[in-house]
A and B are shown apart, each in its own frame.
Chain A
Amino acid sequence: GAGVSQSPSNKVTEKGKDVELRCDPISGHTALYWYRQRLGQGLEFLIYFQGNSAPDKSGLPSDRFSAERTGESVSTLTIQRTQQEDSAVYLCASSLWGGNTEAFFGQGTRLTVV
């Protein structure tokens, strides 16, 4: 596709339920990032994938959070047993390999836990 696509755009879930968020990166982009953005806050790094290398999971806030990516394709971020504190916008970005390359962002998934 032309850009990074995230789905769903909005998700409302009940506390305790599991949710899956999807990210389709730009074709050919080997790097993929997930960030969390709470209301009015900055971007909190969650996880980073680079090609087939082991992902950098250093930003995942708890073991309820996990993410997968197969090769250089789609990634899913899963939050198990959601809590109200998980309510946020989850942003995905992808880029080519290289320090100065631009990261292209999707429009995010707004997750509301009620």
Chain B
Amino acid sequence: AQTVTQSQPEMSVQEAETVTLSCTYDTSESDYYLFWYKQPPSRQMILVIRQEAYKQQNATENRFSVNFQKAAKSFSLKISDSQLGDAAMYFCAYRPQYLLQGAQKLVFGQGTRLTINP
């Protein structure tokens, strides 16, 4: 079974600085998708960024970028120029590519609580 591990329960960063959140995963599949979701206090889960495993280029969305290391099964999220609105729980998630029954199950890590210090 696939597992996702986030080893940092909490992180903090000064406003305007850069922070990196770690995520590792375990799978025997070669094709899959990885996601970072943000959950602010409102509880609303918001997709931040996604990465296709077959793509070597790291995904980027404005201030958010990932460092995808397929061989190491690592998928870290870098937030540049941190803003107060970035404060939230961040969850890393995995989903296999193949559309078999049950195969689209999204598996989440335990989350990292990010605090932004003004």
A64-113: which have CB < 8 Å to B? 89, 91, 93, 95, 97-100, 102-103, 105, 107-108
Chain B proximity of A58: nearest CB distance (Å) = 7
**A18, CB-defined interface residue at 8 Å:** no
Chain A proximity of B13: nearest CB distance (Å) = 20
Instruction: Name the contact of A99 in the complex, choosing from B45, B98, B108, B109 (C-beta under 8 A).
Output: B98
- Interfacial chain B residues near A100, Cβ < 8 Å: 33, 50, 52, 95, 97
**B42, CB-defined interface residue at 8 Å:** yes
Instruction: Name the contact of A107 in the complex, choosing from B32, B35, B42, B105 (C-beta under 8 A).
Output: B42
Chain A proximity of B21: nearest CB distance (Å) = 14
A33-90: which have CB < 8 Å to B? 33, 35, 41-43, 45, 48, 50, 53-54, 56, 58, 89
Interface residues on B, range: 20 to 34
Instruction: Name the contact of B108 in the complex, choosing from A35, A50, A53, A56 (C-beta under 8 A).
Output: A35
- Interfacial chain A residues near B106, Cβ < 8 Å: 33, 45, 93, 103
B68-115: which have CB < 8 Å to A? 91, 95-99, 101-102, 104-111
**A26, CB-defined interface residue at 8 Å:** no
Q: Are A42 and B109 in contact (CB under 8 A)?
A: yes
Q: Are B50 and A102 in contact (CB under 8 A)?
A: yes
Chain A proximity of B73: nearest CB distance (Å) = 17
Q: Are B44 and A105 in contact (CB under 8 A)?
A: yes
Q: Are B104 and A89 in contact (CB under 8 A)?
A: no
User: Which residue from chain B places its CB closest to the CB of A109 in the assembled complex?
Assistant: B43
CB contact under 8 A between A99 and B97, given known A89-B43, A108-B43: yes
CB contact under 8 A between A43 and B108, given known A99-B98, A102-B50: yes
Chain B proximity of A60: nearest CB distance (Å) = 13
In the complex, what distance in Å separates the CA atom of A108 from the CA atom of B97? 27
Known A43-B108, A56-B102, A99-B32; 5 more pairs at CB < 8 Å: A41-B110, A42-B108, A43-B91, A45-B107, A99-B99
Q: Which residues of B contact A (CB under 8 A)?
A: 6, 31-33, 35, 42-45, 47, 50, 52, 91, 95-99, 101-102, 104-111
